[in-house]
A = this chain, B = another copy of it.
Amino acid sequence: MAKEITPRTEDYSKWYLDIVRKAGLADNSAVRGCMVIKPLGFGLWENMKAVLDQMFKDTGHVNAYFPLFIPKSFLSKEADHVEGFAKECAVVTHHRLMNNPNGSGVVVDPSAKLEEELIVRPTSETIIWNTYRDWINSYRDLPLLINQWANVVRWEMRTRPFLRTAEFLWQEGHTAHATKAEALEESQMIHEVYARFAEDYMAMPVIKGAKTASERFAGAEETYTIEALMQDGKALQAGTSHFLGQNFAKAFDVKYSTKENKEEYVWATSWGVSTRLVGGLIMTHSDDEGLVLPPKLAPVQVVIIPIPKPDPEIMEVADAMAEALKAQGVRVKVDRDDQKRPGFKFAQYEMEGVPVRIGIGKRDLEKGLVEIARRDTKTKESIAKDGAVAHVKTLLDEIQDNLLARAKQFRADHTSTVENFDQFKEVLESKGGFIYAHWDGTAETEAKIKEETKATIRCIPNDSPLEEGVCVYSGKPSKQKVLFAKAY
């Protein structure tokens, strides 16, 4: 089974597609650019969703749901927003089909043309701020802290499962505040939530920072991003949080009366992560044998396999162990298949990234032993049956920690600091990865570097110290190193 996967060194992009397909994460669909998320892929997203949803609720947010469709005219109300978003999107023009008068099948009914076209939401700032106008009158209505779990559509020409698809699933938070300081604080707080989620649950280390003006969200005054490093040395933008200033409040005329009874425009944030995170998870940890999953998000954390086949004696031990693990909150599956050979099953669960495998064989059992294998290191050990549950509990934490440590080590090995543009290009071509370099702060230099190298400024890292230097490209003065990389 494993040999069906293209090795990473041979073709990273094909390796990724192989994993997605063979681990059963997603499938192509009949609709261009739209994927089918299969049960394992969706199980990962469900687990991510559950954790994030609780993090949002713990920080005072509630969920709501806004329409899928946006009237076309809304998109042009915020000038920058329309430039960034309105262009490549699904446009609904009619609301009825009819039987084809010339034969079989159905055709669009020309009489059912909409007066104003509707856009399938690429993001919901416009429809939400149009609604907030009715919801916000006084300072007592603020802050308004709302999140939405939804599907969105951006008509992408080149798609890749999870990383870039025409339709994708995400959450979008949209908050309204009385003051600039409060909105800024909210956008930074969510930025921290995203980083914590990435590191503590996905075991995916991230660099936190602000986007440059040219890389900001369309309509934002500040965009905070978390940037992760994939195994091919490319960066993945994994979650963004935007301080929107009063742009949308002005575009949709959302004002509130202050305690002093003055009318003021409201301050806004928006922030989102998407099913793209599933792609990031795959690319951070997986290997040439298949998916590798951090235990905290794995739909199945432990699989118990009777060796060579289920028989009553073995199954009694297996079921008792599964019950004991469940009682400890572990997500466990007992493999009851009596057709496939153990070797086949091992390869299958390796492919699916199950963090821990327990093999229960008759001869081992006579000695009071079971075999425990971990997916991350592919090591096995024989463990006393009676201590297996406690051992597995500890092991799951160990695997979670090891994956994060491994990813951090990889990132450290693929992070460079360069002093001039030759070095910059040399590093980019030889090993890629994150590159810290001085930049003169102009959009012009940023664009030229991108043009010449395809590397972009991923962010101005929050912890990048102020220091005098010269831009690697222009030689002009620079006050800070920023983070460059080629990116997904």
Contacts and interface: CB of A to CB of B under 8 A. Distances in A.
Interface of A: 27, 29-31, 34-39, 42-43, 45-46, 62-76, 82, 86-98, 104-106, 108, 117-120, 127, 130-131, 134-135, 140, 146, 150-151, 153, 155, 167, 169, 339
Contact of A37 (B30, B65, B82): B65
Given A76-B105, A76-B106, A91-B96, 8 more contacts: A29-B67, A30-B71, A36-B66, A37-B64, A68-B120, A76-B104, A87-B97, A93-B108
Contacts of A167: 67-69
Contact of A95 (B62, B68, B90): B90
A131 B27 contact: yes
A119 B117 CA distance: 15
- Which 5 residue pairs across A and B have the least CB separation, nearest first? A34-B67, A37-B65, A39-B62, A91-B94, A95-B155
Nearest to A93: B93
Most chain B CB within 10 A, of A43, A91, A94, A96, is at: A91
B64 A36 contact: yes
Identical chains in the assembly: 2
A97 B86 contact: yes
Given A31-B118, A69-B167, A86-B106, A63 B91 contact: no
A70 B30 CA distance: 8
B119 A97 contact: yes
A32 to B, nearest CB: 9
B90 A63 contact: no
A183 B315 CA distance: 29
Contact of A96 (B39, B62, B71, B155): B155
A100 to B, nearest CB: 9
A67 B169 CA distance: 11
Contacts of A153: 68
A76 B103 CA distance: 12
Nearest to A340: B140
Contacts of A34: 67-69
A339 to B, nearest CB: 8
Most chain B CB within 10 A, of A30, A140, A339, is at: A30
A95 B88 CA distance: 6
